[in-house]
């Protein structure tokens, strides 16, 4: 079997409710849907998830260009899609960085191979360690009383933790944490993600001010490049520090581990470069005995699926609650029964604070082709590259 056509579709999905993070308002998701066609008629699908110039530094245009102008003609076309290790290795040799583009290809390859073999992706990854994935939920920044009310609803639904997003000044973040902690009580797992927005002195003063609220962790308080600062900060505060933007490539993990810069790690499949490379990533975390939480780049059911399969399969990450809940963010709901008009006709099940990966071949996702055509990004066109 050979890959004969690569089809890349730019897609925009409106958020049912805007979310505020790092001072920016997220009102729509701009992503890329990939279809890998074969000479035997089997097609693999994937969704890049939302693109972020400040988080990943990639855009729909850059992902489309990387796939259509480099990966398709130089690596994918004419290749056996079951050779995922070979293809991923060649993408890394051909192009530095661009991990979201690489992940989009990796996801589609896993979907394709699962379909070829007639097994779910979690079987390709070693089989299920757990049948359902415990989740926490991320709340956008907002007025303290409104965020507190939302946190209570999340906990009532059965989610394992509440994660807040920094969106204002440190003083306003402290006020938001104070209100939420008072509402949910002292025993709830509560933490905040700074997305690297604080300076060292802001981080030190603010984390010390937050310590009376018993947060389980502070996520990425300093800019991605400041691993030395993270290590220094960690030695001066009592709240655990988790690395996200700092923890991208394997050499970043090695630096974090060697410098003692974090108490835990945040992974996204797109940040790691796909499922194959994410498994290497998790092995390093396990060797350092560092807990790992998996987020998402925010997307519908197709975007959420690769992570869902890995979270159910991998023995290390299966030990911790996760936050892979993009469809819930897009559709502003707390379970999948309330999701309408998603790219996936069969969104993975979200119920009572748990996520269940689909059991069909590959990612187990059926595509809503009509919706996909209706949501092609305005001013953009589908790109197709054939052998």
**Helices and strands: H and E segment counts in the chain:** 14, 14
Mean pLDDT of the residues in the chain: 96
Nearest-angstrom CA–CA distance, 52 and 31: 10
Nearest-angstrom CA–CA distance, 26 and 174: 22
Cβ neighbours, 10 Å, residue 107: 31
Mark whether 21 and 113 lie in a shared domain.
yes
Mark whether 79 and 138 lie in a shared domain.
no
Number of domain units in the chain? 2
Mean pLDDT of 358-383: 98
Measured over the CA atoms of residue 113, residue 118, residue 121 and residue 123, the dihedral's sign is negative
Mark whether 312 and 199 lie in a shared domain.
yes
Contact present, 22 and 245 (Cβ < 8 Å): no
Mark whether 107 and 136 lie in a shared domain.
no
**Within a domain: residue 112?**
yes
Mark whether 258 and 320 lie in a shared domain.
yes
**Within a domain: residue 9?**
yes
Q: CA 115, 94, 98, 359: dihedral to nearest 10 degrees?
A: 10
**pLDDT at residue 172 in the model:** 94
**Within a domain: residue 64?**
yes
Contact present, 216 and 191 (Cβ < 8 Å): yes
**Within a domain: residue 361?**
no
Cβ neighbours, 10 Å, residue 198: 23
List b or e across 290-304, with b for residues whose CB sees 16 or more CB atoms inside 10 angstroms.
Answer: bbbbbbbbbbbbbbb
Mark whether 188 and 150 lie in a shared domain.
yes
Condensed to tens digits (0 to 9), the pLDDT of residues 314-356 reads 999 999 999 999 999 999 999 999 999 999 999 999 999 999 9
Q: Which residue has the tokens 């998996």?
A: 294
DSSP for residue 168: S
**pLDDT at residue 22 in the model:** 65
Query: Any idea what the CATH number is for the domain that residue 43 is in?
Result: 3.30.390.10
**Within a domain: residue 258?**
yes
Mark whether 171 and 233 lie in a shared domain.
yes
Nearest-angstrom CA–CA distance, 14 and 29: 6
Nearest-angstrom CA–CA distance, 154 and 148: 10
Nearest-angstrom CA–CA distance, 294 and 276: 15
Strands 161-165 and 189-193: parallel
Answer whether residue 24 shows pLDDT above 80: no
**Within a domain: residue 345?**
yes
Condensed to tens digits (0 to 9), the pLDDT of residues 124-135 reads 999 999 999 999
**Within a domain: residue 213?**
yes
Mark whether 84 and 168 lie in a shared domain.
no
Mark whether 195 and 332 lie in a shared domain.
yes
Q: Is 96 helix (H, G, I), strand (E, B) or coil?
A: coil
Mark whether 146 and 294 lie in a shared domain.
yes
**Within a domain: residue 362?**
no
Joined tokens for residue 292: 């790992």
Nearest-angstrom CA–CA distance, 168 and 56: 21
Mark whether 345 and 265 lie in a shared domain.
yes
**pLDDT at residue 40 in the model:** 97
Mark whether 250 and 339 lie in a shared domain.
yes
Please classify residue 261 by burial: count the beta carbons closer than 10 Å to its beta carbon, then call 0-12 exposed, 13-18 middle and 19+ buried: buried
Query: Any idea what the CATH number is for the domain that residue 163 is in?
Result: 3.20.20.120
Joined tokens for residue 147: 């965020």
Q: In sequence order, what are the residues at sequence separation of 6 or more whose Cβ sits closer than 8 angstroms to the Cβ of residue 22?
A: 54, 165, 166, 167, 195, 197
**pLDDT at residue 56 in the model:** 83
Domain that residue 282 falls in: 124-356
**pLDDT at residue 55 in the model:** 84
Radius of gyration of the CA atoms of the chain, in A: 20
Q: How far is it between the farthest Cα atoms of the chain? A: 61
Nearest to 295 by CA among 273, 268, 329: 268
């Amino acid at each position: 079997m050979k890959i004969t056509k690569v089809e890349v579709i730019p897609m925009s999905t409106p958020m049912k409710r805007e979310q505020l993070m790092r001072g920016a308002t997220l009102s729509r998701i701009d992503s890329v849907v990939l279809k890998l066609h074969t000479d035997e008629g089997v097609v693999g699908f994937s969704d890049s998830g939302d693109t972020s110039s400040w988080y990943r530094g990639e855009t729909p245009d850059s992902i489309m260009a990387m796939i259509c102008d480099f990966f398709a003609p130089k690596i994918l076309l004419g290749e056996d899609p079951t050779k995922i290790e070979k293809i991923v290795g060649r993408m890394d040799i051909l192009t530095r960085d661009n991990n979201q583009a690489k992940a989009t290809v990796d996801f589609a390859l896993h979907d394709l191979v699962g379909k070829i073999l007639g097994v779910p992706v979690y079987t390709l990854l070693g089989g299920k360690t757990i049948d359902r994935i415990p989740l926490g939920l991320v709340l956008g920044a907002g007025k303290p009383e409104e965020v507190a009310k939302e946190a209570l609803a999340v906990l009532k639904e059965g989610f394992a933790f509440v994660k807040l997003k920094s969106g204002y000044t440190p003083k306003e973040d402290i006020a938001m944490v104070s209100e939420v902690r008072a509402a949910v009580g002292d025993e709830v797992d509560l933490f905040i993600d700074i997305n690297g927005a604080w300076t060292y002195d802001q981080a030190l003063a603010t984390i010390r001010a937050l310590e009376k609220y018993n947060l389980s962790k502070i996520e990425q308080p300093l800019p991605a490049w400041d691993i030395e600062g993270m290590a220094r900060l960690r030695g001066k505060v009592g709240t655990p520090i988790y690395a996200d933007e700092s923890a991208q490539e394997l050499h970043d993990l090695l630096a974090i581990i060697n410098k003692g810069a974090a108490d835990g790690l945040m992974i996204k499949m797109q940040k790691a470069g796909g499922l194959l490379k994410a498994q290497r990533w998790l092995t390093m975390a396990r060797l350092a005995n560092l807990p790992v939480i998996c987020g998402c780049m925010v997307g519908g059911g197709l975007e959420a699926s690769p992570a869902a399969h890995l979270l159910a399969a991998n023995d290390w990450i299966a030990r911790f609650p996760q936050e892979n809940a993009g469809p819930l963010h897009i559709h502003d709901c707390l379970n999948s029964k309330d999701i309408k008009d998603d790219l996936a006709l069969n969104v993975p099940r979200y119920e009572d604070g748990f996520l269940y990966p689909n059991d069909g071949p590959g990612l187990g996702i059926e595509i809503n082709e009509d919706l996909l055509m209706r949501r092609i990004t305005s001013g953009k066109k589908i790109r197709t590259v054939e052998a």
